Each structure stands twice: as structure tokens, then as C-alpha cells.
């Protein structure tokens, strides 16, 4: 007896397990949806940086400030102190 494509699909579905296959499909679709949202957000952020640049702001400095705002104040203070020490050691101060 030969399997037709419908029989094969049913056999494959039964082999993988209906619940597992449905769960996998759901997870993949959610990841794909979030990837699209991330792409849209990245585009929005790029537009805001362009706006900041056209307003005369230094984008590199803005990125650094945003990175620093994510850190704990003690971490920022320690980094700034080390930068100052390194600058003086290199004769840059």
C-alpha cells in the first residue's frame, strides 16, 4: 500500500506529536513577530539619532550617555575615575 501526501502528512504529524508541533509553530511565529517589531524599533531609534544629529547633538556622546544611564551610579563613578587616572598617566590631563 502506497502513502499519498495526505497520509504522509498525517503520519508525520502523529510522529512528531500534535501538541509538540503546534507548540513549536507557536514559538516560531512569536519569535518571527518579535523580530519584525525589533526591526521596526531599530528603525525608529535610527530616525531619532538622525533627528538629534540634525539638531546639532553628537550621536556618539548620546550613545555613551544612554549606555551610562543603564549602569548603576557607582559603576559610572568608578569608570570616570579610572578614565581620569588613565588620562593623567598618559599626560592627557
Encode pLDDT of 42-71 as tens digits. 999 999 999 999 999 999 999 999 999 999
Task: Identify the three-state secondary structure at position 72.
Answer: coil
Is 93 a residue whose pLDDT tops 80?
A: no
pLDDT of residue 19: 82
Helices (H), the chain: 5-16, 18-54, 59-69, 73-89
Query: Phi and psi dihedrals of 52, rounded to 5?
Result: -65, -40
14 pLDDT exceeds 90? no
Per residue in 65-81, pLDDT tens? 999 999 999 999 999 99
Domain ranges of the chain: 1-55, 58-93
pTM over 0.85: no
Q: Are 53 and 60 in contact (CB under 8 A)?
A: no
Amino acid at each position: 500500500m502506497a502513502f499519498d501526501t495526505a497520509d504522509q502528512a498525517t503520519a508525520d504529524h502523529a510522529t512528531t506529536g500534535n501538541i509538540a508541533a503546534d507548540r513549536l509553530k507557536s514559538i516560531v511565529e512569536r519569535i518571527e513577530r518579535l523580530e519584525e517589531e525589533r526591526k521596526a524599533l531599530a528603525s525608529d531609534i535610527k530616525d531619532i539619532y538622525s533627528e538629534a544629529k540634525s539638531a546639532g547633538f553628537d550621536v556618539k556622546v548620546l550613545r555613551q550617555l544612554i549606555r551610562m544611564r543603564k549602569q548603576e551610579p557607582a559603576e559610572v563613578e568608578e569608570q570616570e575615575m579610572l578614565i581620569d587616572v588613565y588620562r593623567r598617566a598618559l599626560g592627557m590631563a
